[in-house]
Copies of this chain bind each other. A is one copy, B any other.
Amino acid sequence: MSGAPQKGSTLKPALPKSDAGVHPCAACEVREHAVCGALTLPELAKFGGAMKHISLEAGDHLVDEGESETHVFSVTAGCLKCFKLLPDGRRQVVGFVFPGDFLGLAKADAYTSSVEAVTTATLCRMDRRELEKMSTSIPNLDKRLHEMASEALAELQGQLLLLGRKTAHERVATFLTMLSRRAEERGLPGNPVDVPMSRDDIGDFLGLTTETVSRTFSRLRKDGLIGGDKDRRVEILDEDGLTDIADGF
């Protein structure tokens, strides 16, 4: 694990709110979108007290598939990728995680995928046993975790449909609409959409090669569905058209 674990709990100085003074977590800007959003202020203080902040640089490695699952994480900034590998190096990105997302929903003995930072990122880290204790004493927390796991299950089923049955064109369209939707869920603009990951990572997420991803972007651009001259920032020009392609119409 790289990235220096730091003591301290806020990314930005706590703003003077009615919340302030209880626990610095109260001022966390992603709180509402994270597990933490389900907690009352006293619960939050207890929960936040068991968290440590860590930060990673792009490419830094957080956990390895198969290693003992000692910690869980809540992402506060940046983007990370979760992936599985085959012996010959073939890679499948099983998910990208963004601020508010939780790592460790599937309680298992070992991590079910490796996790690596796509961009500079910050996370809160908690001991897995600690989480389990808290989860039994804080019903709200348990409920929220269950809820997040449910969303993850639904999301994964959609990804199965994508990988099993959609064309390259449909996959990329789905990917862009998904990124846009998720940005909006976090209160960010969904258009133009920020694409922090490389073509390689996108390919490994969509079950395609870099080249096919690149060609598909080019085609979507030529067809006037997307615009933007920068690789990592895509303007959606025809949202309905893109959604139709994504949904297989």
Judge whether A187 is part of the interface by a CB distance below 8 angstroms. no
Measured between C-beta atoms, what is the minimum distance from A217 to chain B in Å? 19
Inter-subunit contact A161/B86 (CB<8 Å): yes
Q: A107 is contacted by which of B136, B145, B147, B204 (Cβ under 8 Å)?
A: B147
Measured between C-beta atoms, what is the minimum distance from A207 to chain B in Å? 3
Inter-subunit contact B88/A248 (CB<8 Å): yes
Interface residues in A166-212 (C-beta closer than 8 Å to B) = 166, 204-207
Interface residues in A126-161 (C-beta closer than 8 Å to B) = 136, 139, 142, 145-147, 149-154, 156-161
Interface residues in A27-41 (C-beta closer than 8 Å to B) = none
Judge whether A9 is part of the interface by a CB distance below 8 angstroms. no
Task: Give chain A's interface secondary structure class.
Answer: helix
Measured between C-beta atoms, what is the minimum distance from A211 to chain B in Å? 16
Judge whether A76 is part of the interface by a CB distance below 8 angstroms. no
Taken together as a complex, chains A and B put the C-alpha atoms of A179 and B79 apart, in Å, by 36
Inter-subunit contact A106/B165 (CB<8 Å): no
Inter-subunit contact B165/A86 (CB<8 Å): yes
Query: Which 4 A/B pairs are nearest by Cβ-Cβ distance?
Result: A164-B207, A163-B163, A86-B248, A106-B153
A residues lining the B interface (CB < 8 Å): 84, 86-88, 90-92, 94, 105-108, 112-113, 136, 139, 142, 145-147, 149-154, 156-161, 163-166, 204-207, 247-249
